[in-house]
């Protein structure tokens, strides 16, 4: 998109880093949820 071309590289890098951190957190939460659901099914 055009705004990426206009944005300072530092801002773009920060945004990408924040996105990567969010994706990692989401993956961690999904694994945790799967574990909790599996435990609930055992009961």
How far is Cα 36 from Cα 10, in angstroms, rounded to an integer?
Answer: 39
Mean pLDDT of 24-42: 97
Model confidence at 31, pLDDT cuts 50, 70, 90, reads: very high
Looking at every residue in the chain, the average pLDDT score rounds to 93
**What are the structural domain ranges in the chain?**
2-42
**CA–CA distance from 9 to each of 3, 18, 40 (Å)?**
11, 14, 46
pLDDT over 80 at 1, yes or no? no
Q: Can you give the pTM of this predicted structure? A: 0.71
The tokens of 12 are what? 């773009």
For residue 41, the model assigns a pLDDT of 92
Do the beta carbons of residue 34 and residue 27 sit within 8 Å?
Answer: no
* 12: Cβ contacts below 8 Å, ≥ 6 apart: 4
């Amino acid at each position: 998109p055009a705004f990426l071309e206009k944005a300072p590289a530092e801002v773009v890098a920060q945004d990408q880093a924040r996105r990567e951190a969010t994706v990692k957190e989401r993956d961690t939460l999904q694994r945790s949820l799967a574990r909790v659901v599996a435990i609930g099914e055992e009961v």
